[in-house]
Amino acid sequence: MTDLVPEHPGPHRRFDPLRGEWVLVSAHRTERPWQGRIETFDPPGFLPDYDPDCYLCPGNRRAGGRVNPAYTGTYAFTNDFPALRPAVADTSPPTSPLFRADRVAGTCRVLCFSPRHGRTLADLDRTEIHSVIDLWAEQTTDLGATYRWVQIFENKGEAMGASNPHPHGQVWAASALPTYVAAEDRRQAEYRDAQGTNLLTDYTRIECVETTRVVIENDTWVAVVPYWATWPYETMLVPHRHVLRLPDLTSDERADLAELLKRLLTRYDNLFATPFPYSMGWHGAPFQTDQIDHWQLHAHIYPPLLRSASVRKFMVGYELLGESQRDLTPEDAAQRLRRLPETSDRNDLHVT
C-alpha cells in the first residue's frame, strides 16, 4: 500500500495506527441513489434559555429528585443513574476460561456547559468554551486521583442518543482501561519503543506539512480528518506540543483550544445547516501507572451525518461483520469542511 492516494481513488483500505485496525474506503458509494432511512429533521426555531421542564436547567428538579443550584457558569454533579458505581462485589470464579469476568468500579458525572438551555457548545463564546475546558481539566484531575481511566465526552443531538438538548457532557471514571483506550495505549507504546518518538506528534507534524486533511490549525492545536477516519466527517484534535492530559494544558493552549473548537463546531453546523450531531471525547494518559510518556492528548469527534441533515452513515452489515467502511475520502471531507464559513446565524434563534 502506498502513502499517496489518488484524488479519486477506487476502493482501498487504510490502516489506523492508533487501534491497529483497517478501514475500507469506497469513495464512489455516495453516487448511489438513496432509498433508505431519512432522519426526521425540524429546522431549529426559537429556543428558550430556560426550560421549566428541563432536568439540567438551574433551579430545576432532576429526574432523581435532587434540585439543581442556581448555577451561572459550568456545573457538575454525580449522575443520578450512573453506569458505574464506586463499590462493587467481586465476580464469581469462572467455570471455564471462556467465561471470564472482572469487577470494575467507577463513577459517572454530568457536566453542564452553560445555564442557558437553548445553546450548544458551538453557540458559546470563546470565554465560555474556555470555562468548559477548565471544567474538563478539573474533573480529570479530581477523578484521576482515584481511578485509572477518566473519560470526558459529549453526545450532541438525538441522532447520538442525547435525550436532553441542554448543553452538557459527561465524565465516566473507571478502575480499568476500556477496550479502545487499551488498544491506543498499546499501539502508542509500541511506536515509542520502535521509533523513540510519539505516534501522534509525528503524525500531526506530517499532516501540517501536507495540509490535505487539515481543517483548522492555530499556534498550538490542529484539527484534522485522520487519514484512517471511519465516520464521514470525523476529526481529531491534537496539540502541537507533547501533552499527556487535559490538566497539563497551559492557559494559552486552553485559549487556543477554545478558539479552535468554536471555529470547528460552527463549520460542522454550517455543513448541512443544522445543529450537527456528534460524539466527542478526550483520550489522555491513564492514571495509576508510571508508563505514560508514549501518550499524546487528543480528542475524537465522530459525527454520523453523511449526505445531509437527514441522511446518516449506518455501521451495519459489512461494518459489523467485516471491518469499518467509509463513503468518501478523508481528503474530500476535509476539503468540504475547510470551505465552510466560521460564522453562524444561530445566535438569532435564542430567546430569554
Counts for the chain of helices (H) and strands (E), in that order:
6, 16
Lookup: cell for 210: 501536507
CA 276 to chain centre: 13
Tell me how far apart the alpha carbons of residues 26 and 327 are, in angstroms, rounded to a whole number: 5
Crossing angle of helices 126-144 and 251-271, in 10° steps, is 120
Lookup: cell for 121: 457548545
Angle at CA of residue 113, ends 240 and 259, nearest 5°: 30
Q: State the catalytic residue, choosing from 117, 168, 294, 300.
A: 168
Give the dihedral sign, CA 296/266/313/24.
Answer: negative
Q: Which phi and psi angles does 4 have, rounded to 5°?
A: -95, 125
Tell me how far apart the alpha carbons of residues 255 and 7 are, in angstroms, rounded to a whole number: 35
Tell me how far apart the alpha carbons of residues 80 and 61 are, in angstroms, rounded to a whole number: 12
Tell me how far apart the alpha carbons of residues 191 and 323 are, in angstroms, rounded to a whole number: 23
Angle at CA of residue 197, ends 195 and 202, nearest 5°: 105
Tell me how far apart the alpha carbons of residues 195 and 192 are, in angstroms, rounded to a whole number: 5
Lookup: cell for 151: 473519560
Q: Which phi and psi angles does 186 have, rounded to 5°?
A: -65, -45
Active site residue 168: yes
CA neighbours closer than 13 Å in the CB half-sphere of residue 298: 27
Helix (H) or strand (E) segment spanning residue 344: none
Crossing angle of helices 179-195 and 199-210, in 10° steps, is 80
Point out the residues that are catalytic. Answer: 168
